[in-house]
Structure 1
Amino acid sequence: MNRSVIDTRQVRLHFSNHAEEYDRYAVVQKKVVVNLLDLLRSCGPISGPVLEVGCGTGTLSRQIYTLIPALPLMVSDIAHGMTRHAARSVPGVAAVDADAQDLPFRESGFGLVLSSSVYQWMNDLPRAFAEGARVLAPGGRFAFALFGEGTLYELRESHRLALEETGGGRPSHAQDFPSSEEVRSALVAAGFEGVLVRSVYEVERHPGVEILLRHLKRIGAQNAAGRRPPGLGSRRVMERMIQIYRERYGGEENIPATYEVIYGIGRKPA
């Protein structure tokens, strides 16, 4: 699949600007953290040092610290505002700004690399996973959750249809998400063994499409496709998109927002 190119500068800006209010609106993301930790614990003892890639506000690392306070923890994020927030909120953590596709760490330095709700922002998923493998010690584990191709399908399809009707034939530049098969292939290409990939659907409900869009903006999860138009397009397109969304997927008072969460785990060969 030819996915839209992500503008990394926009990703960095969006998330950095919304670090202080992220936790208030990131409902699905918090549920994903709990599920990822359950998956990790089911695979055996947790050993470190631990690196969290794309730490956000530090929700995942705080949970790891609570479970095993003595584990050395390093957190990294491409958005400086997020890195600073995590550094303040996780006791004794070391923090650094870093791009997941080019980690500034030596080889074989970590026993566990973790990431939650981050890798869907990568332009080169195999490269990002290969970086995770590079910094892992032999026998170390790589565990993550990312948003897959079914994520926000209601919003993306409504926008596509609205553009067809009112956008003068312009294509939709809504962001794409990776498939489970792309994720599995990237893990295998990075050299991981014992690969497990699992897809789970989560559904949020909102009073209206405008509220959903506001929530996405408040956590920094705005469209970062490189060729996107400003916002989601003209006011006419937006109004028609909201109308289509309500007609096809909800009603006047309640609309769904679906997230496909892909969980993955692998081990670096010993």
Structure 2
Amino acid sequence: MTDGLPDKRQVAASFSRAAASYDSVAALQRAVGSALLGRLPEGFVPERWLDLGSGTGHFSRLLAERFPVAEGIALDIAEGMLRHARPLGGARRFVAGDAERLPLREASLDLIFSSLAVQWCADFAAVLGEARRVLRPGGVFAFSSLCVGTLQELRDSWQAVDGFVHVNRFRRFEDYRQLAEDSGLRLLGVEQRPETLHFPDLRSLTQELKALGAHNLNPGRPGGLTGRARILALIDAYERFRQPEGLPATYQVVYGVLQK
């Protein structure tokens, strides 16, 4: 299940480079994170929260607004994101760290909020184990992620052109569900929901992925420049998916809420 997931150093470097451009193209990320906030248990008020994979700090700031008395920690593997987020506030502490090996004490948190970050973690069981370790009894781990089927239109179009891996690989939804059920945490809910964006042309999509730092990070991706003929073939292949709203890019989003 971990085969083919990106190297963490590449992920950290890519998102660090994208820090300045990320928020300008993060409409989907904001919609998904807002939906995740809406899935927190009613009446739940943490004393100490962690924004895991905090990125530019957008949701750290929303968490600080929602829980003004609580102490907040923003943690990300990409130091460039933390440098961008720190002056904007929200969290009390900004920490460079790995979701699979949290630099936090046992039973030190009431909430772990993680939106569209754990898809980059090869060992999601380790992420869940760390959540169980650092949460206090009654604490909540709320996450959103991406699963198989994400950017399927782009994947199928490249497959028609050359058969190489040009699109990031993701875990199956069934694996998320099973790992959550086996985590030792109480599963309050897990579901998969598609979200489709539309673009006027292929260039707009690929430029957005690059601005997000989420362009192809897979091992086994083709090296070197992509030839003009292959790009034209890709454009032709993708045009088969065109809808009245534009070229679709579908994200298969996983939402999960667990409690210790």
Does the CA-based 8 Å contact 2:109-2:134 persist in structure 1?
yes
Does the CA-based 8 Å contact 1:110-1:137 persist in structure 2?
yes
| Structure 1 range deviating more: 118-127 or 238-247 | 238-247
Does the CA-based 8 Å contact 1:232-1:238 persist in structure 2?
no
2:36 paired residue number: 36
1:190 paired residue number: 183
- What is the letter of the counterpart of residue 80 of structure 1? E
Cα gap change, 1:251/1:180 in structure 2, threshold over 3 Å: closer, same or farther? closer
Number of residue pairs the alignment of both structures matches: 260
Cα gap change, 1:110/1:190 in structure 2, threshold over 3 Å: closer, same or farther? same
- What is the letter of the counterpart of residue 120 of structure 1? Q
- What is the letter of the counterpart of residue 105 of structure 2? R
2:200 paired residue number: 207
Does the CA-based 8 Å contact 2:57-2:90 persist in structure 1?
no
CA RMSD of aligned residues (A): 1.9
Pick aligned residue for 1:230 from 198, 218, 223: 223
| Equivalent-residue separation in structure 2 for 1:163 and 1:101 (angstroms) | 35
| Equivalent-residue separation in structure 2 for 1:80 and 1:236 (angstroms) | 38
Q: Summarize the alignment of residues 103-182 of structure 1 with structure 2, pairs less than 5 Å apart.
A: 103-164=102-163, 171-172=164-165, 174-182=167-175
Q: CA deviation at 1:190?
A: 2.2
Unpaired stretches in structure 1, ≥5 consecutive residues: 165-170
Q: Tell me the alpha carbon deviations over residues 174-219 of structure 1, each in whole angstroms, 9 at most, x when there is no partner.
A: 3211222111122223211134101111111111011100001001
| Equivalent-residue separation in structure 2 for 1:232 and 1:127 (angstroms) | 36
Identity %: 36
Q: Tell me the alpha carbon deviations over residues 45-97 of structure 1, each in whole angstroms, 9 at most, x when there is no partner.
A: 12131011100011111111111211100010000011122222124520110
- What is the letter of the counterpart of residue 184 of structure 1? R
1:168 paired residue number: none
Q: State TM-score, norm by structure 2.
A: 0.93
Cα gap change, 1:31/1:253 in structure 2, threshold over 3 Å: closer, same or farther? closer
Does the CA-based 8 Å contact 2:2-2:122 persist in structure 1?
no
- What is the letter of the counterpart of residue 165 of structure 2? S
- What is the letter of the counterpart of residue 257 of structure 2? I
Cα gap change, 1:29/1:91 in structure 2, threshold over 3 Å: closer, same or farther? closer
Does the CA-based 8 Å contact 2:148-2:171 persist in structure 1?
yes
Q: CA deviation at 1:3?
A: 4.3
2:129 is paired with a residue of what secondary structure?
helix
Unpaired stretches in structure 2, ≥5 consecutive residues: none
| Equivalent-residue separation in structure 1 for 2:216 and 2:97 (angstroms) | 21
2:81 is paired with a residue of what secondary structure?
helix
- What is the letter of the counterpart of residue 151 of structure 1? T
1:24 paired residue number: 24
1:142 is paired with a residue of what secondary structure?
strand
2:20 is paired with a residue of what secondary structure?
coil
| Equivalent-residue separation in structure 1 for 2:246 and 2:155 (angstroms) | 18
| Equivalent-residue separation in structure 2 for 1:25 and 1:244 (angstroms) | 25
Does the CA-based 8 Å contact 2:181-2:187 persist in structure 1?
no
- What is the letter of the counterpart of residue 179 of structure 1? R
Cα gap change, 1:252/1:233 in structure 2, threshold over 3 Å: closer, same or farther? farther
Q: Tell me the alpha carbon deviations over residues 79-136 of structure 1, each in whole angstroms, 9 at most, x when there is no partner.
A: 0011122222124520110111111111111011110010111111111221122111
